[in-house]
Structure 1
Amino acid sequence: MARNIEESPTEAIVVAEQEPALPASATKQDEKLVNRAAKHVRDILARTVSQGLEEVGNYLLDTFYEGNAELYQSLKPSKHASLTLLEERCETLELPVSRTFLANAIGVAVMTKHLPKSSSFLKLPPSHKTELLGISTPEKAETLAAKVIEGKLTVQKLRELVRKERAKGKKNPQGRKPMPTVVRVLTSCAKLLNHRETGRLVFRKADFAELTDDQREEVKELLLLFQKRLEEIQKHLGE
Structure 2
Amino acid sequence: MCRAIIAVCFAIVGLVSCAQVDFDDAPVGRFSGSVLLLWVDEGSSTSGDGRFVFVPAPGRPLMFERGGDGGTFPIIQPGMIYTDGGSIPKAAQLFKGFSPWGYAPAYMVHDWLFVARRCLTDGTADANETQIAPVSFQESAEIIAEAIKTLIDQDRVAPNDVAPRVISGTVAGPISKAQWTKQGACAADRVSAEHIREVKDAVAQYGTTKSQTPLTKPTASGTRIVAEIAF
* TM-score greater than 0.5 by the shorter chain: no
Bigger fraction of residues in helix: 1
TM-score (norm 2): 0.24
TM-score, scaled relative to structure 1? 0.24
Bigger Rg, structure 1 or 2: 1
Q: Does 1 or 2 have the higher relative contact order (CA < 8 Å, sep 6+)?
A: 2
